[in-house]
Amino acid sequence: PRPIRLSQYRKPAHRVDRVDLTFRLHPSRTRVLARIAFRPDPEGPGGPLRLDGEGLRLIEAAIDGTPVTPLIDPAGLSVEAPDRPFLWEAEVEIDPAANTALEGLYMSNGMYCTQCEAEGFRKITYYPDRPDVMAPFDVRIESDLPVLLSNGNPGRAGKGFAEWSDPWPKPAYLFALVAGDLIAHSDRFTTAEGREVALNIWVRPGDEDRCAYAMDALKRSMAWDERVYGRAYDLDVFNIVAVDDFNMGAMENKGLNIFNARYVLASPQTATDADYARIEAIIAHEYFHNWTGNRITCRDWFQLCLKEGLTVYRDQQFSGDERGHAVKRIEDVQMLRARQFREDAGPLAHPVRPESYVEINNFYTATVYEKGAEVIGMLRRIVCEDGWRAGLDLYFDRHDGQACTIEDWLAVFADATGRDLSQFALWYSQAGTPRVTLSSRIEDGTLVVDLRQDVPATPGQPEKLPHAIPVALGAVARDGTEALATQHIVLTRPHETHRFAIGTGDAVVSALRGFSAPVVLDQPLSNPDRALLLAHDTDPFNRWESGRELARDALLRMVRDGAAPDPAYLDALGPVLADDTIEPAFRAMVLALPGDDDLARSLAEGGTVPDPDAIDAARRALALAVARRHEDRLAHLFDSLAEPGPYSPEAGPAGRRALRGAALSRLSRIDGGARARALVESADNMTDRLAALTALVAIGQADDALAAFYDDWKSDRLVLDKWFSVQVAAAPGDSGAQAAARLTAHPDFHWRTPNRFRAVIGALGANHASFHAADGTGYDLVADWLIRLDPLNPQTAARMSTLFDSWRRYDAGRQELMRAALTRIAGKTDLSRDTSEMVGRMLA
Ligand code: B3K
Ligand code: ZN
């Protein structure tokens, strides 16, 4: 198929004034009756009525009551239509039970459910399925199922039917319908504007006691958006539904958010602290979309970052406000580097606003989402607080009810502040992670900082222009005091020199504080300099970063030169571990080592071919050395951090559990697993229990604990996902490949359910040494399963194929094996458009 290009955007020929849908639900023969009021757009290209449609059986169609016979093709239909407003009526039949792709109307455990973003509505009825066509929707659902839901406010309901009416014009991708035997966990919220909103979280019977946290997160999100952005909710009900079969996290359908059950359901016994934090973040994210995404949507799918980057940015700010910004920022940057920097460095690199795609579902990426959010953060730093507020107010004011572009977004900030943002706009069009090289010296009480920027070539973009890069920097004197408070500069040229008066003869520059831009910072710091920053930097991000760089340096020398664990690194950890004034969650992050994939990327960037076995061995040796060197402190932490009283998911206790779990994982390497074995039995919550189980798997001592865990949780699908995942993700050396092979033969491996598929195949991809097992068993297993999944669920198969994206980093043997695996996938007959685009880009 030919790529779709941003440059070829054309306005729609027809606008929609109103949509009226009736669903007669049936598992294999659902009838959808559509009455759609169309109007030619005088600014559009004209021509016949063109509607998107896929996999629909057209029963009959009429225009203004006169039957018509449209010309049908695999992508939709065309029919002559009058050059004035007219009513289109069509009846189609669809087969939800046969829909394994989980896009359009499908079934999950007897429940009907939809997923329309990006282009799923065309699998429900014929429609101009593009985000710049917005209309109010009225929906009638006919079914004997007890709960029938759609967007907007409820209307009439009776035996076997329910009606819904959504007054806010919306694009079809925000349409949703749910029907099933569901139970609500209900609450209320009164908006700042005085609107009484009924809140419901709909779940399968038996899950209703696991909704309280999601509901609490929803109410906090609603209050936060009013407080921070002045945005109130705009309907009388807000419904959330948890569904077991879902391709991603959740979906922001207007007034009817649909969630992967794992991002709704939580109880202390079944969910970890990390699960609670993710639930809070995703509930907030989908809720925030109501303004950034729904009220103001995207003109076309190239503008996806308009809603996603901004909404990720907003959910990150929310979580930071709720849980503490220092730790949240570190988590976000770790994720950005692990996923987005990796993407940006390989064959799948693309700009935050891509310029072409074959399958849009392949562009819901870390670049669009996470780098998109970083671009928003940089914009805020550049326009400063007043400009940020003024720009956003103008955005909501000017564009409410519209489908917008990145140009519209930037224009509100240019207009509100009078700034020229044309160079800043390059962040949206240039792919690749810029490298900022920094060197500094002190001359006569002046700190002189030289900065250089390079933007690497990426597929299709050999040459780049310099970016506008906000760099926050300060300096720490040798005695640990702050020699220069944080300065904010914006690097705009390839080379720049900046001077700052400084009150000392010697200081260490703490650059890119708070990770002020999504760049790789190349700053030659000695390990004693890094240790100084780890001990004394006032910027928590750089404090953590310095510890991380010390660990990275130690590990790289172990891998490359066979060095012993660096005693200076081990020493530097001591004061941090012992300092009870430092937040436990932060100390847990300092204790964590860079991951294998992260180290592989460092090695590759430095010109060394990464050896997965050597990386794994080095990480384990360093963890062991930390345990030996700090046994007493770690044991003290483990003993003293046990939480008294009942479990609470709040940041304070969660942080203490994180530090305790980090201590446990180190200690398990020297106590033979004794502490973990005791904890796995005594734990009253899933966080501790899973931490203990993970520690046991990592030392190959988990057989009994895994058997007991299975017995306890075999009937709980979300916990069972954890049981599958931990055995693969935490397996030592390359043993995760055999573990995954064994588990894919387990009777509970329901591979058609994306959560279960990811729990095994995704976990194998996350275990670097196992995925890259030298004999290729990891690659083959993943390729076999992708080939099997692709015809049923192309979206999930295509997404998972990205596990192969860094294949060119490795040695000739592994490259050959990975290329063969990719070629085997590519050669499959009838490979989906989704997967073939991904594999094609990776092999290009
Ligand atoms: N907007 C959805 C993602 C849709 C993915 C389509 N393949 C969830 C979100 O970002 O909130
Ligand atoms: Zn989103």
Render pLDDT for 414-456 as a digit per residue (tens, 0 to 9). 999 999 999 999 999 999 999 999 999 999 999 999 999 999 9
For residue 247, give the ligand 1 atom closest to its CA.
7
Q: To test ligand 1's pocket by mutation, which of 259, 308, 316 has the most ligand atoms within 8 angstroms of CB?
A: 308
Give the closest residue to 13 by CA, choosing from 74, 59, 78. 78
What ipTM did this prediction achieve?
0.99
Q: Is the pLDDT of residue 614 over 90?
A: yes
Q: What is the mean pLDDT of the chain?
A: 98
Residue ranges, comma separated, of all CATH 1.25.50.10 domains in the chain are 702-844
Distance 2 CA to ligand 1 centre (A): 24
Render pLDDT for 124-179 as a digit per residue (tens, 0 to 9). 999 999 999 999 999 999 999 999 999 999 999 999 999 999 999 999 999 999 99
Residue matched to tokens 């490795």: 810
- Judge contact between 625 and 570, C-beta under 8 A: yes
- Kindly report the protein residue whose alpha carbon is nearest to atom 9 of ligand 1: 251
Give buried/exposed letters for 628-646 (b at 16+ CB in 10 A, else e).
Answer: ebbeeebbebbeebebeee
Distance 158 CA to ligand 1 centre (A): 33
For 188-290, CATH gives 3.30.2010.30
Relative to beta strand 86-94, strand 104-108 is: unpaired
Render pLDDT for 726-758 as a digit per residue (tens, 0 to 9). 999 999 999 999 999 999 999 999 999 999 999
For residue 361, give the ligand 1 atom closest to its CA.
7
- Kindly report the protein residue whose alpha carbon is nearest to atom 4 of ligand 1: 117
- Kindly report the protein residue whose alpha carbon is nearest to atom 10 of ligand 1: 308
Distance 117 CA to ligand 1 centre (A): 6
Distance 293 CA to ligand 2 centre (A): 8
Distance 364 CA to ligand 1 centre (A): 7
Taking residues 807-817, what's their average pLDDT?
Answer: 98
Is the Cβ atom of 252 under 6 angstroms away from ligand 1?
A: yes
Distance 559 CA to ligand 2 centre (A): 39
**CATH superfamily to which 435-524 belongs:** Aminopeptidase N, middle-beta domain (2.60.40.1840)
Residue 404 burial (C-beta neighbours within 10 Å; 0-12, 13-18, 19+): buried
Render pLDDT for 269-306 as a digit per residue (tens, 0 to 9). 999 999 999 999 999 999 999 999 999 999 999 999 99
Q: Which ligand is nearest to the CA of 301?
A: 1
Is the Cβ atom of 251 under 6 angstroms away from ligand 1?
A: yes
- Judge contact between 665 and 692, C-beta under 8 A: no
Is the Cβ atom of 312 under 6 angstroms away from ligand 1?
A: no
State residue 93's pLDDT score.
99
State residue 721's pLDDT score.
99
Is the Cβ atom of 285 under 6 angstroms away from ligand 1?
A: yes
315: Cβ contacts below 8 Å, ≥ 6 apart: 281, 282, 284, 285, 288
Residue ranges, comma separated, of all CATH 2.60.40.1840 domains in the chain are 435-524
Render pLDDT for 669-721 as a digit per residue (tens, 0 to 9). 999 999 999 999 999 999 999 999 999 999 999 999 999 999 999 999 999 99
Taking residues 552-581, what's their average pLDDT?
Answer: 97
Residue ranges, comma separated, of all CATH 1.10.390.10 domains in the chain are 298-429
Is the Cβ atom of 310 under 6 angstroms away from ligand 1?
A: no
Is the Cβ atom of 118 under 6 angstroms away from ligand 1?
A: yes
Residue ranges, comma separated, of all CATH 3.30.2010.30 domains in the chain are 188-290
| pTM recorded for the entire structure | 0.99
Give the rounded distance of the alpha carbon of 641 from its chain centre.
31
Is the Cβ atom of 364 under 6 angstroms away from ligand 1?
A: yes
Question: Cα 470–473–479 angle (5° rounding)?
Answer: 170
- The two structure tokens encoding residue 127: 């429609």
What class is the 702-844 domain? mainly alpha
Q: Which ligand is nearest to the CA of 131?
A: 1
Is the Cβ atom of 370 under 6 angstroms away from ligand 1?
A: no
Render pLDDT for 237-248 as a digit per residue (tens, 0 to 9). 999 999 999 999
For residue 118, give the ligand 1 atom closest to its CA.
6
- Kindly report the protein residue whose alpha carbon is nearest to atom 7 of ligand 1: 361
Is the Cβ atom of 117 under 6 angstroms away from ligand 1?
A: yes
Distance 359 CA to ligand 1 centre (A): 14
- Kindly report the protein residue whose alpha carbon is nearest to atom 5 of ligand 1: 117
Is the Cβ atom of 308 under 6 angstroms away from ligand 1?
A: yes
Give buried/exposed letters for 77-92 (b at 16+ CB in 10 A, else e).
Answer: bebebeeeebebbbbb
Catalytic residues: 286
Q: What SS3 class is residue 224?
A: helix
Distance 290 CA to ligand 2 centre (A): 10
Is the Cβ atom of 259 under 6 angstroms away from ligand 1?
A: no
Distance, in Å, from the CA atom of 410 to the CA atom of 58, rounded to the nearest integer, reads: 43
DSSP bridge pairs for 526: none
Q: Which ligand is nearest to the CA of 174?
A: 1
Q: How confident is the model at residue 505 (pLDDT cuts 50, 70, 90)?
A: confident
Is the Cβ atom of 102 under 6 angstroms away from ligand 1?
A: no
Render pLDDT for 302-324 as a digit per residue (tens, 0 to 9). 999 999 999 999 999 999 999 99
Is the Cβ atom of 306 under 6 angstroms away from ligand 1?
A: no
Taking residues 206-212, what's their average pLDDT?
Answer: 98
List C-alpha distances in Å: 24 to 31, 202, 744: 5, 21, 38
Distance, in Å, from the CA atom of 430 to the CA atom of 371, rounded to the nearest integer, reads: 12
For residue 285, give the ligand 1 atom closest to its CA.
11
Render pLDDT for 15-53 as a digit per residue (tens, 0 to 9). 999 999 999 999 999 999 999 999 999 999 999 999 999
For residue 308, give the ligand 1 atom closest to its CA.
10
State residue 504's pLDDT score.
86
What class is the 1-181 domain? mainly beta
Distance 410 CA to ligand 2 centre (A): 20
DSSP bridge pairs for 107: 112
701: Cβ contacts below 8 Å, ≥ 6 apart: 672, 673, 676, 677
Give the rounded distance of the alpha carbon of 613 from its chain centre.
29
Render pLDDT for 625-639 as a digit per residue (tens, 0 to 9). 999 999 999 999 999
Q: For domain 298-429, which CATH number applies: 1.10.390.10, 1.20.120.450, 3.40.50.2300, 2.60.120.10?
A: 1.10.390.10
DSSP bridge pairs for 94: 30
Give buried/exposed letters for 97-110 (b at 16+ CB in 10 A, else e).
Answer: eebebbbbbbbbee
- Kindly report the protein residue whose alpha carbon is nearest to atom 3 of ligand 1: 251
